[in-house]
Amino acid sequence: MNAKTPPIELIIFDLDGTLVDSRFDLCDGVNYALEKLGLPRRISYEEVTPMLGSGLSYLLEAATGATDKTVLQQARLHFDDYYGRYYAHKTRPYPGVVETLAALSHLKKAVFSNKAQAFTTGIIRELQLEPYFDRVLGAQPERYALKPDPAGIRFILSELNTRPENALMAGDSTHDLEAAQAAGIRCCAVTYGYRPAEVLAEMRPDFSIRRFDELPGLLGV
């Protein structure tokens, strides 16, 4: 970043596929719901990956193949029953996350996920990442829409008193990049997560990283 570029004061991070690898617990929760529904299908950890990033409703629709609201409501209840107990059982931070967040201690940092608020804050707490963040926001549809809508990013900017030109969103999903661009902030594609690098490149992000620990050097901070 050159001297004419406004400095980054705030980094907003996606959670799943960016800070933590959560696909194993998510997949186990989905398979628990499928079993409880009496459906014969089970999905593998590899199969669940492209289903992630668009919120739980999409995940359950994709996994069950159902459109009936009653079936999906039951799937959600079964999933929540399992995931509420095991959301941090197999979920772990990606390599370099803890060390890099510590190195970025001089910047404001937030989490913004399409995962339910209780699960988002629970994972951050259980993995002992709370000290690194000024705000941790999950899905709260009564307050703001899910990504790719920019409302949640604007909410964080207001809460942390930061101008759009001084903020950056880092995420592994096109939804993250779309939300950032719509909010008028810079974005960094994370290519080690749940979306292929070539798909993210089509969004023309300002930055791209293959490892989390590349972030400080990329930003020059």
Query: In what helix (H) or strand (E) does residue 102 lie, and over which residues does it extend?
Result: helix 97-103
**DSSP per-residue codes, 128-185:** T-GGG-SEEEEE-TTTSPPTTSSHHHHHHHHHTT--GGGEEEEESSHHHHHHHHHHT-
Match domain 10-21+92-219 to its CATH number in 3.40.50.300, 3.40.50.1820, 3.40.50.1100, 3.40.50.1000.
Answer: 3.40.50.1000
pLDDT band at residue 3 using 50, 70 and 90 as cut-offs: low
Q: If you average pLDDT over every residue of the chain, what do you get?
A: 95
What tokens does 179 get?
């939300």
Are residues 147 and 178 in contact, defined by beta-carbon separation less than 8 angstroms?
yes
> Can 10-21+92-219 and 23-86 be said to share one CATH topology?
no
Are residues 131 and 59 in contact, defined by beta-carbon separation less than 8 angstroms?
no
Question: Which of 89, 87, 88, 93 lies closest to 111 in space, CA to CA?
Answer: 93
Are residues 217 and 104 in contact, defined by beta-carbon separation less than 8 angstroms?
no
Buried b (16+ CB within 10 A) or exposed e, 193-214: bbbeeeebeebebbbbbeebeb
| Domain ranges across the chain | 10-21+92-219, 23-86
In degrees and rounded to multiples of 5, residue 194 shows phi and psi of -100, 5
pLDDT band at residue 5 using 50, 70 and 90 as cut-offs: confident
The reported pLDDT for the residue numbered 151 is 97
Report field, pTM of the whole predicted structure over 0.75: yes
The reported pLDDT for the residue numbered 2 is 56
State how beta strands 20-21 and 92-93 pair.
Answer: antiparallel
Give me the CATH code for the 23-86 domain, please: 1.10.150
In degrees and rounded to multiples of 5, residue 195 shows phi and psi of -125, 140
pLDDT band at residue 191 using 50, 70 and 90 as cut-offs: very high
Which is catalytic among the residues 14, 16, 21, 176? Answer: 14
Instruction: Round to whole Å and give the CA distance between 135 and 112.
Output: 8
The reported pLDDT for the residue numbered 218 is 86
Is 21 a known active-site residue? no
